[in-house]
């Protein structure tokens, strides 16, 4: 054998890649040892057979057609194929098939197979991880945004769109994107922190949770909780630093915190006033007992005063419990028909001699309100009872109007309400006297309406009028 041919043969025989030679019809003429090792076939077993014995059944026939069309045209075909061994095991190969020319005509084909099974399995695992990450990213209730050094968006999820109102397409390509998503009074805080981090690699906000004020596409301010962390990534053989921001909308939580704070302050003030009122009544009782001791002949007189004071304490405590219950957190779990609630409450509170006029009653049947049903009944009950007791009307009129919000006006033709009571009612910080029946009813009304997130106004227009405004998102 010629030395060069001998060297070539040894190279093929000892190659780490699989080598197969076929005739121009695809019949096997040669396999190198690596081919035998991987496929578990010996040359004697497959000599003269088609290479199709290696088919796995997992490749599209179009791929094989393209392969044969390419090599029979005298061109080299390259691609990745999954094959099957003699015992049924699958393996991936990166294939290069070259036509061999004899007298300028194709006489044979030489195929070199590089086994890439481990790489393909790793790619599949990586793909699964990517899909899992994508699912986690897109289903997360918190917004997740990845920024490059220019502050441009690399990747974002659907929660980012929901919180800020922009589509990912609108946000992509915008440099210093956080400036678009933050309120203007947050700009300096962002710019300084960003510059310091990329200059020194350190920042007080990195790796911590901090609160920011964001800005929705419509201009609305949003309370945000941010967790910001850096990640390193190679891009075009250059190490890049990206910023991962996990963004939570805490606007509702902030409002609830403010509400709880307000209720705590009101409770503290309420407890103080209760303490004062109870102490006053108890001092009166104590005084009467001293007087009774010094003047036993007037027992009936002093005993009656003591009983009167204890009754006042009992009444004060009863009304205080009602006030406390009215201040509970409202559960908007009921969808009620406004007309039905009004008619049911009117029936048990308004005497037959008072005329009731409701505008467009048939159309009102279509109105539903999302509310705490029992609390809303309590509101209407207190309004109607106060109306009967203090205004003594002959006519009660209920007008309603639905544009975006729903406005409900409850009017009567009776006695007007004093300006002092109206001013106290409309001033949220003012305290209505809880020791009067009128005061306790009005306080409960206001507390329940405010707890729903609605508005209520009281005025003489020219006669007593309650106006309740229900936001659009709580009406049909």
Task: Let me know: does 82 contact 59? Beta carbons within 8 Å.
Answer: yes
Find the angle CA(291)-CA(297)-CA(301) to the nearest 5 degrees. 65
Q: Residues 452, 340: one domain?
A: yes
> Tell me, what CATH number does 377's domain have?
3.30.565.10
Q: SS3 of 138, please? A: helix
| Nearest partner of 414 among 364, 466, 358, 469, judged by Cα | 466
pLDDT at res. 425 = 84
Q: Single out the residue in 86, 117, 148 at which a domain terminates.
A: 117
Q: Residues 379, 455: one domain?
A: yes
Give residue for tokens 């006297």: 433
Residue 372 is assigned to a structural domain of this protein: yes
Q: Residues 383, 283: one domain?
A: no
Q: Residues 317, 350: one domain?
A: no
10 Å CB burial of residue 146 (0-12, 13-18, 19+) is middle
pLDDT at res. 3 = 58
Q: Give whole-number Cα distances, 450 to 262, 444, 468, in Å.
A: 12, 10, 10
Q: Single out the residue in 310, 326, 342 at which a domain terminates.
A: 326
Q: Residues 109, 207: one domain?
A: no
Q: SS3 of 69, please? A: helix
Task: Let me know: does 337 contact 370? Beta carbons within 8 Å.
Answer: no
Task: Record the tokens describing residue 292, joined without a space.
Answer: 């009774």
Give residue for tokens 């599209």: 60
> Tell me, what CATH number does 210's domain have?
3.30.450.20
Task: Record the tokens describing residue 109, joined without a space.
Answer: 């084909």
Residue 285 is assigned to a structural domain of this protein: yes
Q: SS3 of 432, please? A: coil
Q: Residues 244, 274: one domain?
A: no
Rg (Cα) of the chain, in Å, rounded? 42
Residue 123 is assigned to a structural domain of this protein: no
Task: Let me know: does 168 contact 188? Beta carbons within 8 Å.
Answer: no
| Nearest partner of 325 among 153, 463, 447, judged by Cα | 447
Total of domains in the chain: 4
Q: What is the DSSP pairing of strand 395-402 with strand 355-358?
A: parallel
pLDDT at res. 433 = 47
Residue 135 is assigned to a structural domain of this protein: no
pLDDT at res. 326 = 55
Q: Residues 356, 466: one domain?
A: yes
pLDDT beneath 50, residues of the chain: 430-439
pLDDT at res. 426 = 82
Contacts 24+ apart (CB under 8 A), 353-356: 353/394, 354/388, 354/393, 354/394, 354/395, 354/396, 355/394, 355/395, 355/396, 356/395, 356/396, 356/397, 356/398
Q: Give whole-number Cα distances, 438 to 324, 422, 453, in Å.
A: 17, 12, 23
Residues 6+ apart with CB under 8 A from 335: 368, 369, 370
For CA atoms 412, 418, 421, 424, the dihedral sign is positive
Q: Single out the residue in 249, 281, 302 at which a domain terminates.
A: 249
Q: Residues 69, 176: one domain?
A: no
Q: Residues 317, 414: one domain?
A: no
Q: How far is residue 467's CA from residue 429's CA, in Å, rounded to a whole number?
A: 19
DSSP symbols for 230-297: EEEEEETTEEEEEEEEEEEE-HHHHHHHHHHHHHHHHHHHHHHHHHHHHHHHHHHHHHHHHHHHH-GG
| Nearest partner of 369 among 252, 472, 466, judged by Cα | 472
Q: Residues 243, 265: one domain?
A: no
Q: Residues 428, 411: one domain?
A: yes
* Residue-number span of the structural domain to which 48 is assigned: 3-117
Find the angle CA(390)-CA(391)-CA(397) to the nearest 5 degrees. 135
Specify which residues 22 forms β-bridges with. 28, 109
Q: Residues 288, 344: one domain?
A: no
């Amino acid at each position: 054998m010629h030395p060069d041919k001998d060297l070539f043969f040894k190279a093929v025989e000892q190659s780490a890649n699989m080598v197969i030679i076929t005739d121009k019809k695809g019949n096997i003429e040669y396999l190198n040892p690596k081919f035998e090792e991987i496929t578990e076939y010996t040359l004697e077993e497959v000599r003269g057979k088609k290479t199709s014995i290696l088919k796995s059944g997992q490749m599209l026939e179009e791929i094989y057609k393209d392969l044969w069309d390419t090599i029979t045209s005298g061109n080299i075909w390259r691609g990745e194929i999954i094959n099957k061994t003699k015992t049924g095991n699958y393996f991936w190969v990166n294939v290069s098939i070259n036509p061999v020319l004899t007298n300028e005509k194709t006489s044979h084909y030489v195929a070199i197979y590089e086994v890439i099974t481990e790489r393909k399995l790793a790619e599949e695992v990586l793909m699964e991880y990517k899909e899992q990450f994508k699912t986690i990213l897109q289903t997360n209730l918190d917004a997740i945004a990845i920024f490059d050094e220019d502050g441009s968006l690399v990747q974002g999820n659907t929660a980012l769109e929901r919180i800020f109102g922009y589509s990912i397409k609108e946000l992509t390509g915008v440099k210093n994107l956080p400036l678009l998503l933050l309120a203007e009074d947050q700009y300096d805080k962002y710019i300084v922190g960003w510059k310091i981090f990329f200059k020194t690699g350190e920042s007080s906000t990195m790796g911590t949770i901090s609160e920011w004020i964001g800005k929705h596409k419509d201009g609305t301010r949003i309370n945000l909780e941010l967790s910001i962390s850096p990640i390193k990534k190679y891009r075009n053989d250059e190490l890049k630093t990206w910023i991962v921001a996990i963004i939570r909308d805490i606007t509702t939580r902030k409002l609830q915190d403010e509400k709880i704070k307000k209720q705590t302050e009101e409770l503290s003030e309420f407890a103080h006033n209760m303490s004062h009122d109870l102490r006053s009544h108890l001092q009166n009782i104590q005084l009467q007992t001293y007087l009774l001791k010094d003047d036993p002949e007037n027992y009936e007189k002093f005993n009656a005063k003591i009983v009167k004071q204890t009754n006042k304490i009992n009444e004060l405590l009863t009304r205080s419990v009602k006030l406390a219950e009215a201040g509970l957190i409202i559960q908007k779990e009921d969808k009620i028909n406004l007309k039905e609630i009004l008619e049911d409450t009117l029936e048990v509170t308004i005497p037959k001699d008072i005329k009731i006029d409701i505008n467009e009653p048939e159309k009102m049947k279509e109105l539903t309100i999302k509310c705490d049903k029992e609390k809303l009944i309590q509101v209407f009950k207190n309004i109607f009872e106060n109306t009967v007791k203090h205004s003594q009307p002959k006519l009660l009129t209920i007008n309603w109007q639905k544009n975006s919000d729903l406005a409900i006006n409850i009017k009567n033709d009776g006695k007007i309400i004093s300006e002092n009571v109206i001013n106290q009612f409309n001033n949220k910080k003012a305290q209505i006297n809880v020791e009067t029946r009128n005061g306790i009813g009005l306080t409960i009304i206001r507390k329940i309406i405010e707890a729903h997130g609605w508005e209520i106004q009281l005025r003489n227009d020219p006669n007593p009028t309650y106006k309740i405004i229900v936001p659009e998102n709580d009406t049909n």
